Amino acid sequence: MEINLVTWLVTIAIILGLLAFDYFAHARKAHTPTIKEAAMWSSIYIGLALLFGLVFFLFGDTSHAVEYYTGFLLEKSLSIDNLFVFMIIMSNFQVPREYQQKVLLFGITFALISRTIFILLGAAVINAWSDVFYVFGLFLILLAGQQLKGELTSADEKSNEAENIMVRTARRIFPVSHDYRQDKLFTKERGKLMITPMLLVMIAIGATDVLFAFDSIPAIYGVTQEPYIVFTATAFSLMGLRQLYFLIDGLLDRLVYLGYGLAAILGFIGIKLVLHALHENSLPFINGGEPVPVQEIPTEMSLVVIIAILLMVVVTSLTSKKGKALIALQNAEKFSFRYSKLDDSTAEQEREKAAAKMDEWTEKARRVEYKYLDELIEHKDQWSSIIRQAHETRLEDVQRTGRSAPVSQQVVNESGSIIDPPDDTEDSHDSAEKEGARSQDSTRR
C-alpha cells in the first residue's frame, strides 16, 4: 500500500471528523452516558479501528496490517493506564459526573495532538540517528522497572497528577473559583475574572497526557518505524476512550495486576528495541561499529505476546485471592450503600432482594484475609462505617416486621473492624502493631 500525501490528508480528515462527531453528538450536551450507550459506542469505535486495519489487507500489505493491529493493541493497553489516572484526577477535583465527558474529550484531543508531535519528532530523530533505538529501548526497560517497583502505579503518586506543576502554576497566577460553573472554564465574581476548577482539571489532564506520550510513542516505534502506522494506531486507540471510561468505570481497579502487565509489555518492547538496535548497530564501541548478528523479535510474535500478557492480567486479577478479595470488598460496600439508600416506597420484594445481595457480599468480605485490607481498602474506617450503617438500617427494617437478620445482627454486635485480624498469637501481635499504625493514618493510600 502506497502511503503518500493524499493518504495522510484523507486519514487526518477521518480522525478530525470522528472527533467533531464525538463532540457534537455526545459531549456538547452535558449528560452521563448509560452503560448501554457507552457499550454501543465503544464497540462502534473498536469496530472502526479493526475495519481500518483491513484496508491494508485489501491492498495486499500484510506486514503493515500486522504492525497496525499490534500497535493498536499496544496503545490501547497503555491507554487503560491513562484512564486510571483520569479517574483519580477527576475524583480529586470532584468533577460532576455529567461534565466528565467534556473533560475526557479534551484529554483525548490533547493526547492526540501531543502524541502527533512526538511521532513527528520521533520520525525525525530516527532518520537522523538510527541508533536512537538503544535510547528508546533502555528508556522503556527503565520504565518497566519503575512500574514493577510501584513508582508509577501507586495511588499516592498517581493522585499527585492532580496537583502537578502546571496546576500549581495556574493556581498561583490566576484566582480560582470555589465551585464549578457548569462546564465553563472562566467566570466572574464581583467583577473579577476567575478560572474555574474545570480549567484546572483540563490543565492537569493535559500535562498528564504529555507525560504518557513519553512512554507511549517510544513503545509503538518498537513495533513499527512507519510514522503513518504509528499515527493511525495511536489515533484509533484514543478514539472511543471516552466511552470506554464510562463502560469500565469501577472495574479498572479490579485489575489488580494491571501494573505488572504493563511493566511486562514495556519491558518486552524495550528488549525488542534493543535487539533491533543491535541488529542495525553503527556505534563504534559496539562490535566495532558493525551490526550484531542477533535474532530480532518479529512483529507477529509481539502481537501474540501482548495479547497473552493482557489475557493473563485479566484472568489472574479476577481469579487470584487478591482479585477475589477486592471484588468481595467492593461489592460489600456497593450493595450495602444501595440498601441504605432504599426509601420507604421500595417494594418489600425489592428490599429483600437488596438485603440478600448485601448479606452475601458482606459474608464474603468477612472471609477476606486480613493481610489484604491495608492494600485494598483506601479508607478502612469509612468502608466499615458504610457496611455497619446499612446493616443497622436492615435491623430496623426487620424489627418492624418481627423477622430476623442474622448477618446484620452479627455485624452490628461486633466492635471495631468488620473484618477481624487472625486469632493466632504471632499474627495477632503483628496485626495489633499494624492496627496501631493505621490508627495514626487510616488513609495510607
Q: What is the mean pLDDT of residues 277-304?
A: 90
Q: Is the pTM of this model over 0.85?
A: no
What does each C-alpha distance from 192 to 178, 179, 248, 361 come to in angstroms?
A: 14, 15, 40, 52
For the chain, which residues make up each domain, given as ranges?
Answer: 5-319, 322-438
Residue 161's pLDDT is 52
pLDDT value, residue 110: 87
Lowest-confidence segment of 228-242, 251-265, 302-316, 344-358 by average pLDDT: 251-265
User: What's the CA dihedral at 58, 6, 118, 269 to 10 degrees?
Assistant: 20
- Chain centre to alpha carbon of residue 347: 38
- The three grid cell numbers given for residue 218, joined into one nine-digit string: 517510544
Question: What are the residues facing 188 on neighbouring strands?
Answer: 193
Q: For 311-364, how does the pLDDT look when each residue is reduced to its tens digit (9 = 90+)?
A: 998 898 888 888 888 888 888 888 898 898 888 888 888 888 999 999 999 898
**Residues ≥6 apart with Cβ < 8 Å to 169:** none
Exposure class string for 100-139: b at 16+ Cβ within 10 A, else e: bbbbbbbbbbbbbebbbebbeebbeebeeebebbbebbeb
**pLDDT digit string, tens, across residues 131-158:** 888 999 999 999 888 878 764 445 445 5
- pLDDT band at 17, cuts 50/70/90? very high
